[in-house]
Amino acid sequence: MSKEKKHNEYKETVEPAAEPAVQTVAKTELERALTEENEKLIAETESLRAENDKLHKTCKRLQSSADKSDAYLNQLVAMKNDFESYKRRMKFNGEQAKAEGVQSVIVKLIAVCDNFDLAKQHLDGDNLKAFEMVYAKFLQILADCGVEEMNVMGQPFDPQKMNALSKVDRGEDNKDVVVEVYKKGYVMGDKVLRYAEVIVGA
C-alpha cells in the first residue's frame, strides 16, 4: 500500500474521532457560561428583592410619618379654632361685663335725677337758674353715655316700658293712656334701664 493511501486512511480514522471531543468542550464552555450568567441573574434578583424590601419599609415609615403629620396638623387646627373661639368669648364677656358695669353705675346716677326733680320744686329765682344749669349738665353726661329719658306722657300704656301704679277716670279720650308720670323711665339703646312708673286713664 502506498504512503499516500495510508495517510488518507489514517486521516479518515483520526479526524472524525476528534470532532466529537471539540463539540463536547464547546458544549461544556457554553453550559458554564450559561450557569455563570444564571447565577449573576439570581444574585441581581436577590439584590433587587432586598432593595425592594428596603423601599417598601421606607414607604411604610414615610406613610406612618405622613399620618402622624396629618394628625398633628388636625390637632393644631382644632387648637387654633378653640383658641379663636376662646378669644371671641373673652372679648364678648369683657364687653358684656363693661356694658353691665356702665349700666349699673348709670342706674345709680338715674336715682340722682329723682333727687334733682324733687329739689327743683323747692327752688326759685337765681337759685333755680343755677340749679337747672347743673341739672342740664348732668343730663348731658347721661345723654353722652347713650341714656335717654322716656317720653311717655300722653302715650298709650306700654307694659314693655312702663309700670302702671293705678288707673284713674280721665274721660274716654284718655282711656289706656298715660295721664301722670310718677317716676321717669330711662332707656339705653334698646335696653330699659328703669321702667317709668305711671298713672293710666281708665
How many residues appear in the chain? 202
The residue ranges of the chain whose pLDDT is under 70 are 1-23, 25
Alpha helix positions (H), 121-155: 125-144
User: CA–CA separation, 128 vs 136, rounded Å?
Assistant: 12
| Residue the block writes with cell 463539540 | 23
- Cα(180)–Cα(165) distance, integer angstroms: 10
- Please name the residues in contact with 201: beta carbons below 8 A apart, sequence gap of 6 or more: 167, 168, 169, 170, 171, 174, 175, 176, 177, 178, 179
Q: Give the bridge partners for 147, in sequence order.
A: 188
Distance CA 202, CA 199 (A): 9
| Nearest one of 196, 174, 193 to 99, comparing CA atoms | 193
Determine the pLDDT at residue 14: 47
Task: Tell me what pLDDT residue 19 has.
Answer: 56
- Which amino acid makes up residue 73? L
pLDDT for the residue numbered 153: 92
Instruction: Quick: pLDDT tens for 115-150.
Output: 888 888 887 777 788 888 888 888 888 888 889 899
What is the predicted pLDDT for the residue at 185? Answer: 92
Strand-by-strand arrangement of the 178-183 sheet: 162-168, 196-201, 178-183
Considering the entire predicted model, what is its pTM? Answer: 0.52
The pLDDT score that the predictor gives to residue 20 is 59
